[in-house]
Amino acid sequence: MKIISNVNELKTYLKKEKKIIGFVPTMGALHDGHLSLIKTARKECELLVVSIFVNPTQFLAGEDLDKYPSRDDADKKICKLAGVDVVFLPQRSDIYGDDEVSLNAPNVRGFVLEGATRPGHFDGVLTVVNKLFNIVNPDNAYFGKKDAQQLNLISLMVKQLFLDVNIVAVDTVRESDGLALSSRNIYLSKEERKEALKISRSLYMASKMVQKKVYDTHEIKKVMSEILEPLEVGYIEILNREFEVLDNIEIGNTIVLVEALVGTTRLLDNIWL
Ligand code: AMP
């Protein structure tokens, strides 16, 4: 397994190889969620690149950039065991200069949910993913459904900028009790971890209500908010795959999304119905 930090070195290497490239962008602190993306990519591609880069431009002032977990050595081991060919591990100065061109998230889909509470976050995400795509030039790039809005906006960027990459969406990996895996879960105390289960429970309840043919999204959201109490809820939204608000569930075209603060940790989760 190669570990490369330099952009030109990586570009030269990948061009020379002339293989079908799979790409998994991450911010490190790898867990089984990331591993699921890596394993899916490993099966589908000849040359597998994983990037580990805590992208500063997607963190807003006062957010947890400085305390974002960093575990490069453990991450490298995980990648090696999973059969990754190249770990791209750039420094900030490899990716960003002083006076930067950047992308703006679209007005409608970019400024709801996460985009509403974290204005500028998706500008940073799109900018770095676009840069990474230009560096790696992958055939396939793998993203988790867990970050549904990110996945949606990246797919939109690929379409609107006519990028030549196939976006593959991978299902959310959960702990056996339902908690969605996240690099931020390590911040949770024992008590908070228990509280955090209300998030997946509220989503399972939404799914159960739909199975019982309750399609009114307002009714579902009301029950979900009761389950989530007393957590500070950022949003509960029920949207179609185009990220438009639904009054009634459309089976096969619905995403139920929750963001809640558990202690001081913001957690996201969703299910696709
Ligand atoms: P991050 O390192 O948090 O930027 O995540 C890197 C990629 O892993 C993104 O595409 C995430 O959506 C994906 N990911 C994070 N957590 C999970 C999970 N629990 N299940 C599946 N994919 C995930």
CA torsion, ordered 204, 205, 211, 214, to nearest 10 deg:
-140
Residue 254 has pLDDT above 90, yes or no: yes
Catalytic residue among 31, 34, 121, 218: 34
Q: What six digits make up the tokens of 147?
A: 């970050």
Predicted pLDDT at 111:
87
Domain ranges for the chain, please list them.
2-170, 183-268
State which ligand 1 atom lies nearest to the alpha carbon of 183: 3
Predicted pLDDT at 243:
92
Q: Is the bond preceding residue 230 a cis peptide, omega within 30 degrees?
A: yes
Active site annotation includes 34:
yes
Residue 196 has pLDDT above 90, yes or no: yes
pLDDT in tens, 101-127: 999 999 988 889 999 989 999 999 999
CATH class of the domain comprising 183-268: alpha beta
pLDDT in tens, 222-240: 999 999 999 999 999 999 9
Using CA atoms, how far apart are residues 198 and 4, in angstroms rounded to an integer?
41
Using CA atoms, how far apart are residues 78 and 24, in angstroms rounded to an integer?
13
Using CA atoms, how far apart are residues 109 and 156, in angstroms rounded to an integer?
10
Nearest CA to ligand 1 atom 11: 144
Predicted pLDDT at 130:
98
Same fold for the pair 2-170 and 183-268: no
Q: Which CATH number describes the domain made up of 2-170?
A: 3.40.50.620
The values of phi and psi at residue 171, to 5°, are: -60, 155
Q: Give the residues surrounding ligand 1 with Cβ less than 6 Å away.
A: 26-27, 33-34, 36-37, 143-144, 146-147, 170, 172-173, 180-183
Eight-class DSSP state of 90? -
Mutate to test the pocket of ligand 1, among 57, 146, 165 (most ligand atoms within 8 A of CB): 146
Residue 247 has pLDDT above 90, yes or no: yes
* Residues linked to residue 176 through DSSP beta bridges, in sequence order: none
Residue 207 has pLDDT above 90, yes or no: yes
pLDDT in tens, 25-78: 999 999 999 999 999 999 999 999 999 999 999 999 988 899 899 999 999 999
Pairing relation of β-strands 254-262 and 232-240? antiparallel
Predicted pLDDT at 133:
98
Cα of 216 from ligand 1 centre, angstroms: 30
Predicted pLDDT at 262:
98
Flag whether the pTM goes above 0.95: yes
Q: What percent of the chain has pLDDT over 70?
A: 100
